[in-house]
Structure 1
Amino acid sequence: MNNKFDVVVVGGGPGGYVAAIRAAQLGLKTALVEKQHLGGICLNWGCIPTKALLKGAEVAHTLAHAADFGFELSQIQFDIQKLVKHSRDVSARLRDGIGFLLKKNKVTVFEGFARLTDVGKLSVSGEQGETALSASHIILATGARPRSLPGISPDGKRVWSYFEAMVPESLPKSLLVIGSGAIGVEFASLYRSLGSEVTLVEVQEQVMPVEDAEVSALAERRFRQQGMDVRTATKVTELNRHDDSVTCTLESNQGESETIAVERVILAAGIQGNIEDIGLESLGVATEGSFIRTDDWCQTNVVGLYAIGDVAGPPCLAHKASHEAIICVEKLAGVSGVHPLDKNRVPGCTYCTPQVASVGMTEADAKAAGRAVKVGRFNLQGNGKALAIVDSEGFVKTLFDADTGELLGAHMIGPEVTEQIQGFGIAQTLEATEAELIHTVFAHPTLSEAMHESVLDAMNRAIHQ
């Protein structure tokens, strides 16, 4: 086999496999190296299977409110193993689909662990031994993994990372979730909806620290209403592991200490890039923390070497990785009209209950940047569709530049907001101002009408509030 390629991609996640397919579509001889599972963490252990599990949480939430729709339910039984199997089956099906797409596009796939050996050269360690590859362009898409805290690391039994949290053998009666970012609150929501007693601990002053303060405040209130014990401005200072429980010492920012006992702990305190043992040091590749430093075109400081996705730094989101993949490949292939990624326009979605979605600046960000801001809000209690489905706790918040009308940011909390945020994303891409959004016709009755009302409210023209 001729192991010289135009492009070699290291990592088969949502950045890597997309980069490989696009490179092949552009006529470049392309190879992809993956050490374990096509689809990466997102498809196998993150985005996709968690949503399959969270569908179970949504069903549980619906059953709990069945009486609102005239149903009387009794003897409801739940089998967590069936829910876990559903999530794994979904991942397997999509993983097979990625394999088909790579084959269809004539991408050569190598199974094994890749290391850079020189500029434009790789060595792949697999079951068949060592394989040497060379390429004019090498794209690193090695992803990231859960980050441990000093003295607090997963053991796979009592203290879980998201790997173990996705395949529990049984439903824990109680658990502590450390970290209230997207991963933390999704697991907290999942297990609370299924019946576990959940304590959510966040070291920052608000849950979901990257979100707009008003959204975070409502999310925390809803979590508490669901029976979740939420501790903000609090850190876990010590864990003592026992046969089938964990004793956790919590300390508030005011120095107050408390000890609680739970069956399991989920560590969701962020992620770190997979940069170890892949040959970066030998080539002098610039890094920043646990991430590879890149320019606007995903290029590293080494000629012909690129990095995309989580390993290239935040926002660590699958859709950001896929978008970077297209930019990187099209730029190196000489495609005209390629634009750098504006990371401020990457939407974020969290699939807890209630759902949270956002794009662009928060109000605090905009004011810190010195922007004069017009703020619009619309409460879902004034939305007919939300009332009809008995899910009207939430709102839409929009931010516009007071001078130019530019849409600076949008923040949503409530039912299906993760499906609606793309409307604001499209508006930003098209550089729509409040004028175009005001004159856009929104269908009725829909949840998305609240988006329109929020825009109207920013201009003091709201109709339904």
Structure 2
Amino acid sequence: MATAEHYDFIALGAGEAAKLLAWDLSSKHGKKCAVIEHGPIAGACPTVACMPSKTLVHLANVVHQTRQDAPIFVRGATARGDVKAYMPAVIAQKKAVVDGLANMFLGIFADKKVELIRGHGAFVGPKTVTVNGRLLTGDTVVINTGSKASVDTSVPGMRDAKPMTHVELLELTTLPDHLIILGGGYVGLEFAQAFVRLGAKVTVVERNAQVLKAEDADVIAELTAILSREGVQFLTSTTVTSVSGVSGDEVILRLSGSGLTEIRGSHLIVATGRTPTTSGIGLDEAGIKLTPAGHVAVDEQLCTSVAGVFAVGDCAGSPYFTHIGWDDYRVLLASLTGSPREGGTTNRQIPSVLFTSPELAHVGLREHEARAKGVPYRLAKLPMAGFLRTRALGETTGFAKVLVEADGDKVLGFTALGPAVGELLPVVQLVMKLGLSFQEISGLTIVHPTMCEGLVDLFRSVPPRDM
């Protein structure tokens, strides 16, 4: 048995929260820290998820805009000119972004004097980990192993079809003739629009009655209408009963529920959900408990069932967003430095943005959630054309809406579908966090013509309280 090496802090996985914790504890608190990672440096977001996918989305938007702007710059050109992406160049640009981020993170690890250990780590006991034949113990150990795309191999033929996940799709150097996407969540919709704009035919197959099942019906109706006009085909309330063929050549999906019994495509991606990466890391050896869904069981301060061991991010069941992983870092840092955040992870805001064009931004209660909970509200709604900036951009489709207390003035929820509406969230979030009146926004003087200017008209249109 190797001689144990002791650290103040050990992270199993280099996700958002873990690397930030290690950097802070080392550089600001003088702790001896190590981060163990066998996969992408700094977790999935910078390397195989958020940043590369948003780079792809951006490049797809450039292709789309070039296509749309053709009549302005080229006499006789049509609005739907024959413009397709050169995929090797797209992937090369994506790789440049990823490589740049990886190099930046490697530099930070060195500057912060945090040891980055490349290898597969696993618990062999409480607060004891092995990696590369080394035995490491820590006063504090954090699990940040993330999640991975799940593929339902119980569907006949699915395994043999070798479907892609987002990881493989982001390496594709050949534009699909017909990309079939299983799943109408965030990943599925962003890729659907991106690949249509890049020049592929795209079909989204969703088992629920609508894509983004958590969203309000009016939002989804508008969003799917926009994507449909661009060429995305939607098959909702549809189940895949079997698959034949191989992705990259030809795949045939047999269906039930949609009226269609079969659909053929050249490529297949599965984007139906994610599962926590908690197997094969020795949690049983350490006595660390899991939830029925397979996440590491934690309390509101992210403590596991073993003292001194914590879990953060996707593997701990936190909402699957990088910015929530960042908040997990703040919660745990506060605890480790002696000033625990009251309530920890409870009652925190969960903002979200779908990076289609237009974007879909949300925070707080949705209308259907308020109705289900019996929460009375006042509703204000403003078409995107009322956000005057959209007229200059030529992107007036969509709308924004806000829910305000029926007998008070606090903001309960906000949703917007429009260009760059993710940038509107902080203004609304701050008012919600501080429990201020919606009139704090309607009373602002905001620069014309910015997108935020439209918030004033939206919040001014909140109906008066019932007398």
- TM (normalized to structure 2)? 0.92
Report matched runs for 1:122-271 at 5 Å. Answer: 122-125=129-132, 130-152=133-155, 159-242=163-246, 244-252=249-257, 256-271=259-274
Q: What's the C-alpha RMSD, in Å, of the aligned pairs?
A: 2.2
Q: Is the 8 A contact 1:19 1:322 kept in 2?
A: no
Q: 1:87-132: per-residue Cα shift (whole Å, max 9, x none)?
A: 111011111111111221111211111111111211113xxxx111
Q: 1:206-250: per-residue Cα shift (whole Å, max 9, x none)?
A: 111122322212111111111111111112221111581000112
Q: Is the 8 A contact 2:125 2:287 kept in 1?
A: no
Question: Partner of 1:379 in structure 2?
Answer: 383
Q: 1:317-339: per-residue Cα shift (whole Å, max 9, x none)?
A: 11101110121122122136566
Whole-angstrom CA distance in 2 between matches of 1:85 and 1:28: 39
Q: Which secondary structure does the structure 2 equivalent of 1:32 belong to?
A: strand
Q: Is the 8 A contact 2:334 2:341 kept in 1?
A: no
Question: Partner of 1:400 in structure 2?
Answer: 404
Q: Is the 8 A contact 1:18 1:326 kept in 2?
A: no
Report matched runs for 1:239-318 at 5 Å. Answer: 239-242=243-246, 244-252=249-257, 256-288=259-291, 289-318=293-322
Q: Is the 8 A contact 1:13 1:39 kept in 2?
A: yes
Q: 1:131-178: per-residue Cα shift (whole Å, max 9, x none)?
A: 111111111000000011143587698521111111112001101101
Whole-angstrom CA distance in 2 between matches of 1:75 and 1:217: 29
Q: 1:188 to 1:2 in 2, by over 3 A?
A: same
**CA apart distance, 1:348:** 0.9
Q: 1:437 to 1:38 in 2, by over 3 A?
A: same
**CA apart distance, 1:71:** 4.9
Q: 1:385 to 1:294 in 2, by over 3 A?
A: same
Amino acid aligned to 1:187: F
Report matched runs for 1:110-121 at 5 Å. Answer: 110-121=117-128
Q: Is the 8 A contact 2:4 2:135 kept in 1?
A: no
Q: Which secondary structure does the structure 2 equivalent of 1:217 belong to?
A: helix
Provide the identity percentage: 24
Q: Which secondary structure does the structure 1 equivalent of 2:16 belong to?
A: coil
**CA apart distance, 1:16:** 1.9
Q: Which secondary structure does the structure 2 equivalent of 1:291 belong to?
A: coil
Report matched runs for 1:8-157 at 5 Å. Answer: 8-24=10-26, 25-67=28-70, 69=72, 71-72=74-75, 76=83, 78-125=85-132, 130-152=133-155
Q: How many residues align?
A: 455
Q: 1:194 to 1:250 in 2, by over 3 A?
A: same
Question: Partner of 2:345 in structure 1?
Answer: 341
Q: Is the 8 A contact 2:153 2:159 kept in 1?
A: no
Which stretch of the first structure deviates more once superposed, 138-147 or 278-287? 278-287
The reply on whether 1:409 has 2:416 as its aligned counterpart is: no
Q: Is the 8 A contact 1:294 1:300 kept in 2?
A: yes
Whole-angstrom CA distance in 2 between matches of 1:211 and 1:22: 37
Give unmatched runs, 5+ long, in structure 1: none
Q: 1:353-388: per-residue Cα shift (whole Å, max 9, x none)?
A: 321111111111122222111111110122321011
Q: 1:379-417: per-residue Cα shift (whole Å, max 9, x none)?
A: 012232101111010111111122232221111111111
- TM (normalized to structure 1)? 0.92
Q: 1:332 to 1:344 in 2, by over 3 A?
A: closer
